[in-house]
Amino acid sequence: MILPEVFTKLLLRLPSSNGVKIDPKQWLLCQLSPADILGEPGMEPEEVRRNIEAVSGSRKLPHTDKVLSKDHSIKTSGTSIIIREYFSSATKKSKEAIMYFHGGGWVLGDLDSDESMCKFLSKKSGYKVISVDYRLAPENKFPIPLQDCYESLLYFYENSKEFGINPEKISICGTSAGGNLSAAVSLLLRDNNKNIVKSQILFCPVTDNDFNTKTYIEYVEGYGLDKAVMLWFWNHYVDGEITRYAAPNKDTKNSNLPKTYIITAECDILRSEAEKYHENIRRNVDSKIEMFEGALHGFNVNIGEITNAEICLDKVSRFLND
């Protein structure tokens, strides 16, 4: 296959890092995605969102056939939130569900961002997937996005029979900032004595605000998610003290959490903090962690584009059904 000139030029910029074989297709997607846009210093969130919408509209990811969706408006203490239910013939007999929190650094993303992944996960696992349209920073800073996710889960749990779900068979998961919100929701559940989650799956999660880890230094720039981008996200998300509910690695109990599966990407600045989260909890929690070689941050959402994404979700489906 002869690559268009623009792709050829980009591949010549493919970084090398201590012999690591980076997935070239995912790296190309990062260069053609809004990753560079996010690094613009001083750019306002609304402008970034408009640019991302324009780029996303030009690249249609294939959706999984025969998986349907339905939006529900639910009431929380602060507002009305839309949750999107994914279901198919494969989920009709299932009484199990996954609540999903999208990524985007708490500032970006919506129900459409990771729809291909949600559909694929529903089909492969046989679970209903419930995606949450939580409010975004900086218009709604911490702890509002977390409160939205937590209260959405409580609503779903309390009304699970209306969705045809066994309330004892609900898991939560999220990508990047969504993984952060999943881990923080688990902390809130523990601290409020609500043992209602079967398991948590964290894809490339944000678990700390330490910008001097091994992988922050090694993959500081040029691998899709840059240090400058994460600083931009954190500055828009939290004012004041950063507690364990914003950075779960700050938790000191590290116990009474649900069964955990952590997915990391080898060439991701967030890998070290995810590994630390696993080390913190593994003595008291049934936790496993798996790194995908050559992968970049958020690879799991690129269904139909990257083979590793489908392999990853196959493994997650097996974890859920063990």
Q: Consecutive sets of 10 residues in the chain, 322 residues long: mean pLDDT of each?
A: 39 53 59 50 76 56 74 91 92 90 96 94 95 97 98 97 96 98 98 98 98 96 88 96 98 98 97 98 98 94 88 96 90
Q: Give residue 122's pLDDT.
A: 95
Contact 246, 237 (CB under 8 A): yes
Q: How far apart are CA 219 and CA 227, in angstroms?
A: 8
CA distance 298 to 270: 10
Q: What is the pLDDT of residue 6?
A: 38
Residue 208: CB partners within 8 Å, gap ≥ 6? 247, 248, 249, 250, 273, 276, 277
Residue 104 falls in which region: left (phi positive, over 0), alpha (psi -120 to 50) or beta:
left
Q: Where are the domains of the chain?
A: 5-321
Q: Return the CATH number of the domain spanning residue range 5-321.
A: 3.40.50.1820
